Structure 1
Amino acid sequence: MLRAAMNAPSGGNEQPWEFLVITNRDKLKRVPEFHPYSKMLPGAALAILVVADPARVKYEGELRQLWIQDCSAASQNILLAAHSLGLGAVWLAVYPDPSRLNGMRELFSIPEEMVPFSIISIGYPVEPKQAADRYDETRIHREIW
């Protein structure tokens, strides 16, 4: 899963990501104290926290924010890799919510200059779920809007 994450596309090949693998049950139980949508984490086998390193960003101006897309792509690759291994995974946003950012920094001793971006809960599904078909032809435009 981490190899897949690190092979995600990255603007300018900056690769502004780091990953924190979390298996400590006590810490996983504490995340719901500041992240209201993370109730599955205490029962997860592990979690991967995707963390941005803004020091790796080389672009200026609007392109300085490409790390957001880069970390999104890395998160998506973790989800796809987990699925390919028969695991269940849930993506949980951390950035840009201040309480989630501060909670992650405090709980996992993340330096202030790093940006906790997303946390992915990984484990074995309790029950199989059918994939939702979200295809919507009305959202497709061809040649012109």
Structure 2
Amino acid sequence: METLEAIHTRRSIRKYTNRPVPRELVAELLRAAMSAPSAVNAQPWIFIVIDDRKLLDEIPTFSPYAGMCREAPLAILVCGDTTLEKAPGFWVQDCSAATQNLLLAAHDAGLGAVWTGIYPMKDRVEGFRKAFGLPEHVIPLAFVPLGYPDQKPGPQDRFNKTKIYHNKYGQRRE
């Protein structure tokens, strides 16, 4: 799959088959995630691969938009480790870039995935912190359920020229 095709056809998938995802494929997804750019090349990300059914079923009790993980064979929790930062505060951008790489790699591999947000919602941060024993310096950013898709939404053209300005805010190119 070409890069632009992956970008334009990737969709959030919330329904999965029960087919397990091979460990080797999970490693490839994480390799792609860790290839993301990061400020001062700090790479402050931490990933927790979750395939324990009991844990996956518990997550929607503290993360209200993660109900699809009850069907997913696994999920990846993307966290920022603030002790690894070289540019304070940039862990959010770094881990967001890693999450996008993860989503695109999953799509390219024939998997479906969805980014469910955690940070900066304090209740969700605390729920994940407690469930996964995260120390204070490790902050959960994104929770990504994934698996082989049991749905196939079509691509959407989201290009919107009204969101583009030239040289100054409010200035359009004719």
TM-score (norm 2): 0.78
1:31 equivalent to 2:59? Answer yes
Aligned mates of 1:89, 1:54 — CA distance in 2: 26
Query: 1:91 is aligned with what amino acid?
Result: W
Supply the distance in 1 between the matched residues of 2:101 and 2:145 (Cα, whole angstroms): 14
Contact in 1 for aligned 2:72/2:146 (Cα 8 Å): yes
Q: Secondary structure at the match of 2:70?
A: helix
5+ long unaligned stretches in structure 2: 1-28
Alignment of 1:131 with 2:155, yes or no, is: yes
CA distance in 2 between counterparts of 1:138 and 1:126 reads 35
Cα distance in 2, alignment partners of residues 116 and 127 from structure 1: 28
Post-superposition Cα deviations, 1:75-99, rounded to whole Å, max 9, x if no partner, equal 0000000000111100011111111
Structure 1: gaps (5+ residues): none
Distance 2:137 2:92 in 1: 15
Equivalent in the alignment of 2:6? none
Quote the Cα distance in structure 2 between the aligned partners of 1:45 and 1:72.
23
State the alpha-carbon separation in 2 of the partners of residues 12 and 22 from structure 1.
Answer: 29
Q: Which position in structure 2 is the counterpart of 1:109?
A: 133
The alpha-carbon deviation at position 142 of structure 1 amounts to 3.3
- Matching residue of 2:105: 81
Secondary structure of the corresponding residue to residue 65 of structure 1: coil
Name the amino acid aligned to 1:100: R
Match of 1:14 in 2: 42
Letter in structure 1 aligned against 2:96? S
User: Residues 39 and 86 of structure 2 are in contact (CA less than 8 Å); yes or no, is this contact kept in structure 1?
Assistant: no
Q: CA separation in 1, counterparts of 2:52 and 2:148?
A: 17
Return the offset for 1:143: 4.1
Shift of 1:19: 0.4
1:46 counterpart = 2:74: yes
Alignment match, 2:90 = 66
Residue number in structure 1 paired with 2:24: none
Q: Give the length in aligned residue pairs.
A: 141
For residue 54 of structure 1, report the CA deviation from its aligned partner: 0.2
Cα distance, 1:131 vs. partner? 1.5
Could you tell me which amino acid in structure 2 is paired with residue 131 of structure 1?
P
**Deviations for 1:24-58, whole angstroms, at most 9, x for unmatched residues?**
01000000001110010011011000011000112
RMSD: 1.1
What percent of counterpart residues are identical? Answer: 47
